[in-house]
Chains A and B, each alone.
Chain A
Amino acid sequence: MGARGSERELATIPSHLLEPAHYAAVRLPVDRAETLPAWCYGSAEFYAREIERIFMLGWHFVGRADLVAAPGDYLTVDTPGGRSSCSGTPAAVWTSSPTPAVTAEPACSREAGRAEPSSARTIAGRTDLTAGSWALPGCTIAPASTGRTGA
């Protein structure tokens, strides 16, 4: 059990915070385990590792198909880490026409989760989007907004 009461010590961030030994107490059975150290909730280094190994891998839910059911509907997909991680633009767009597809559209603009008119025009103007799934390299995903191209 961790330090408490008069035994409590100031929390410090270790120099090698991804060393498994720092987490031995978390690995114990729940009735003897401790919560994650505070740095897991604020450290840039720990966060970067989470983005790399969790949000860049595996499958991620991005939205409901019924929200983009009509031909030309689209769902933009944002990047974990915010705008700075990928030039501040959505990483991918999921469209329903002609068949469900995920497409990258780095030219989209978006503010506060709302699709800008320019994004719809940009998507509608693309002629090289074919059925399939596409994304910008180096980016991972999160849903941002939905819209309709008018197609």
Chain B
Amino acid sequence: MHDRPGFDRADWGLTRARAETWQGFVFVTFDPTAGALRDHLGDLGDKLGGYRFDEMLCVERRDYEVACNWKLLIENAMEEYHTGTVHHASLGQQYAVQEETRGHWDAIYIPQETSIAVLPGETAPFPPVTGLTGRPAHGTYFTLLHPATQFACTQDCMWWLRVVPLEPTRSRLEVGFCFPRTTVARPDFAAGAALYFHRWETGIREDNRICEAQQAGLRSALRTAGPFALREPAVHRLNNWVLDQVLDGPDRRLLAFRTQPGAR
């Protein structure tokens, strides 16, 4: 290109994008018109700031390739209706309540006085997050940061899940496991963390299998849309959030503008 008049290599380099962090989580946008991250996240910080994520360490990351559409993994993660069947021999049945949120996130809350990050019948060996009070101290939040990130926050740790669409029927699930720095520094951390990793791996593999089975069912010519169970309203909200983004028309609620609590 040196022989092309007017060509300046500097004009054809990398394109600037934006990155911001919130409590140790790195976010990126390639949309030059996107607002600030804090506006996108709405009241996430008010509801979950007590977990002090910025004082946690991500001790392990695992990736899984799953033969299903990205939405199936997210839908599965945002309702507990499936736990009594898919996880009946492992995590067991869970019962959640819906959370009101403002911003591009949604949440369900499972009241339970002990950490949900170990299997039923096991005792969580680690202390709760220092200073954790209010609802976070008495249950677990399963949150969806639209479009495809989940923060699962329980009393003594958190794990994040990010679904990366690869093809219409193939996705990569990336998971990271985080504990408070003080917990990671404990001499018994490795032994205690094994309980958590066993629980996480068990649950993730069961979820991945059912999502692939669900995708297979969607291929049936006999498949028709059906009703929602009343225990999966967050799935209904997710479906409508997706439609808000992808469809044209007077009802379209763009990604940047859902700011009212409980919208839809």
A59 and B28 form a contact (CB under 8 A) = yes
Chain B hits for A135, CB < 8 A: 14-17, 28, 30
Q: Which residue of B lies closest to A114 (CB)?
A: B63
**Interface 1/0 per residue, A92-120 and B, CB below 8 Å:** 10100000111110000000110000000
**Structural contact, A54 and B147, CB atoms closer than 8 A:** yes
Report A8-51 CB contacts with B as 1/0, cut-off 8 Å. 11110000001010010111001101111110111110110111
Residues of B within 8 A of A104 (CB): 14-15, 17
Q: A29 to B220, alpha carbons, bound, how many Å?
A: 27
Specify which chain B residues have a CB less than 8 angstroms from the CB of A10 in the assembled complex. 221-222
Contacts between the two chains (Cβ within 8 Å), count: 242
Residues of A128-145 at the interface with B, using a CB-CB cut-off of 8 Å, are 128-129, 132-137, 139-143
B239 interfacial contact with A, CB 8 Å: yes
Q: Interface centre among A64, A78, A92, A146, by most B CB within 10 Å?
A: A64
A58 touches B147 (CB 8 A): yes
User: Which residue, of B30, B165, B235, B236, has the highest number of chain A Cβ atoms within 10 A?
Assistant: B30
**Given A59-B28, A81-B166, are A50 and B242 neighbors across the interface (CB < 8 Å)?**
yes
| Residues B206-264 near A (CB distance < 8 A) | 215, 218-228, 230, 233, 235-236, 239-240, 242-243, 245-249, 251, 255-256
Q: Which of B56, B230, B235, B255 contacts A58 (CB 8 A)?
A: B255
Pairwise interchain contact B165-A59, C-beta atoms closer than 8 A: no
Interface size class of B (residues with CB under 8 A): 35 or more
List the A residue with the shortest CB-CB distance to B151. Answer: A61
- Of B26, B69, B148, B243, the most chain A CB neighbours within 10 A belong to B26
Q: How far is it, in angstroms, between the C-alpha of A3 and the C-alpha of B223 when the chains are bound? A: 10
Alpha-carbon separation in the docked complex, A26 to B228 (Å): 10
The distance from the CB of A37 to the nearest CB of chain B, in whole angstroms, is 6
- Cβ contact of B28, chosen from A26, A43, A47, A133, cutoff 8 A: A133
B37 part of interface (Cβ distance < 8 Å): yes
Q: Is the CB of B26 within 8 A of A63?
A: yes
Is B133 in the interface zone, CB < 8 Å from A? no
Q: Is the interface of B mostly helix, strand, loop or mixed?
A: mixed
With A and B bound together, what is the CA distance between A2 and B170 in angstroms?
Answer: 27
| Known interface pairs A33-B236, A54-B245, A63-B26; A113-B225 also in contact (CB < 8 Å) | no
State whether the Cβ of B18 lies closer than 8 Å to any Cβ in chain A: yes
Chain B, residue nearest A52 (CB): B246
Contacts of B227 in A (CB 8 A): 1-2, 33-35
CA distance A42 to B251 in the complex (A): 24
Q: Nearest chain B CB to A122's CB is how many angstroms away? A: 13
* B225 A37 Cβ-Cβ under 8 A: yes
Beyond contacts A57-B245, A59-B34: 8 other A-B pairs, Cβ-Cβ < 8 A, are A30-B228, A38-B219, A41-B68, A46-B246, A53-B246, A113-B174, A134-B14, A135-B30
Q: A residues within 8 Å of B by Cβ?
A: 1-4, 8-11, 18, 20, 23, 25-27, 30-31, 33-38, 40-44, 46-47, 49-51, 53-67, 75, 77-78, 80-82, 92, 94, 100-104, 112-113, 128-129, 132-137, 139-143, 146
Can you sample 15 A-B contacts with CB below 8 Å? A2-B226, A4-B224, A10-B222, A20-B248, A42-B69, A50-B165, A50-B246, A60-B148, A67-B61, A81-B166, A82-B167, A134-B15, A135-B15, A135-B28, A142-B164
